[in-house]
Amino acid sequence: MRIVDLTTFLSGPSATQLLGDLGADVIKVESLDGDSSRAIVGPTVLGESAYFLANNRNKRSIAIDLKSPRGLEVLKRLIAGADVVFENFRPGVTARLGIEPQTVLAEHPGLVWASISGFGQEGELRDRPAYDMVVQALSGVMSLNGHPGAPAARLGIPAGDVVAGLYAVIGVLAALRQRSETGRGQIIDVSMLRGQLAMLSYQALYTHLNGVAPAPQGAGHDSIATYRSFRGGDGRELVVTANTPRMWQGLCRVLGVPELIEDPRYVDAASRLRNKESLWAILEARFAERPASDWVDALAEASVPVALVKNVLEALNDAHDAGDGSLVVVANEAASFENVATPIRFVGSAPVPPTYPPTLGADTVDVLVSELGFSETEVESMIADRVVVASPLAEPVA
């Protein structure tokens, strides 16, 4: 399965990396300056931005000047042999480049074309630029994050980008399945804003039925009083999700307050929610008597869902120590780093070995000569005229 990846930054690259992890041949088409995420400020490996490295393994890179006629011809030849094209340009850019998807599909009816944009291909917002925090804000997601009385807070992960990428992959896989029966591809339009609205889940229906916008969720839950975080005596936080009567009873017994089980104020879920403030005060006082890890051990023993609130470093260290494939080492001759792996597992099948994210134009010559049929002389001319850029690529470590 060949994917032509015209995407930059995060929503598209995260999607095409997932497909590469699943075994697709992903050819990343970059400008002569490269994906702008290569220059994001932050940690680097051999001068390459960690932001870029996190989302571009299992890909090949060719660098083309798409504004030149010769560069456009290279891209069109590449698309002609592809199964899927991914792009996250603003609406209208593909038409200006000369690769408007309806026209391309008329020539290649079996092609699947996936477009990711901030607000979709239609509508009054279509031409606005959008990044992750913009769609978190417009969708209501930011209003739910953080604590009551505090300013709205963005999620600390790029949910707007990653969720759009996941929905795009789902759409592509569905379109490929349909193509296997009809022989025809189609155009997929994924909006980052629509992806965030979909993430509202039950909160969207709650709001519709109540006619009132929910408050920031803080450490709790709108429907379950015993679904929240607490602080242990050592200052560390833990979360408890005692959703069922059995879990509620187990929580009371472990905390040494069995009398709450029959207390009329807390006898059922509705009563606990109605009287949550007084209940929280009792539970918080009990949790403060022992270190958080003690409570975690005791509650887990009683089959009450519980966990310490860990920071990202702790979570990654745990994943490393578990050795369960949650992390993957990506390496070439010059460098290596450990990153989060695709979480999908096929039981009985080995995962696709990760290849190091490509340097800019690392595969330009190979793709143009070996796969697109250009002669070496033609490629040399294109390099000299800066129609394309080529650079060497270190071989992956076995």
DSSP for residue 27 = E
Helices and strands: H and E segment counts in the chain: 17, 14
What is the rounded distance in angstroms from the CA atom of residue 346 to the CA atom of residue 315?
Answer: 24
Ranges of H-type helices in 89-241 = 93-97, 101-107, 132-139, 141-144, 159-182, 192-199, 202-210
* 161: annotated active-site residue: yes
What is the rounded distance in angstroms from the CA atom of residue 300 to the CA atom of residue 294?
Answer: 10
Which backbone phi and psi does 251 adopt, to 5 degrees?
A: -60, -45
Residue among 31, 179, 196, 186 at smallest CA distance from 97: 31
Residue with tokens 């959008």: 130
What is the rounded distance in angstroms from the CA atom of residue 5 to the CA atom of residue 382?
Answer: 21
**Which residues does 31 contact at the CB level (< 8 Å), separation at least 6?**
63, 64, 65, 66
Ranges of H-type helices in 222-360 = 245-254, 269-274, 276-287, 292-301, 312-322
Q: Which of 161, 318, 321, 324 is catalytic?
A: 161
DSSP for residue 289 = T
Letter for the amino acid at 292?
A
Ranges of H-type helices in 302-375 = 312-322, 364-366
The residues annotated as belonging to the active site are 161
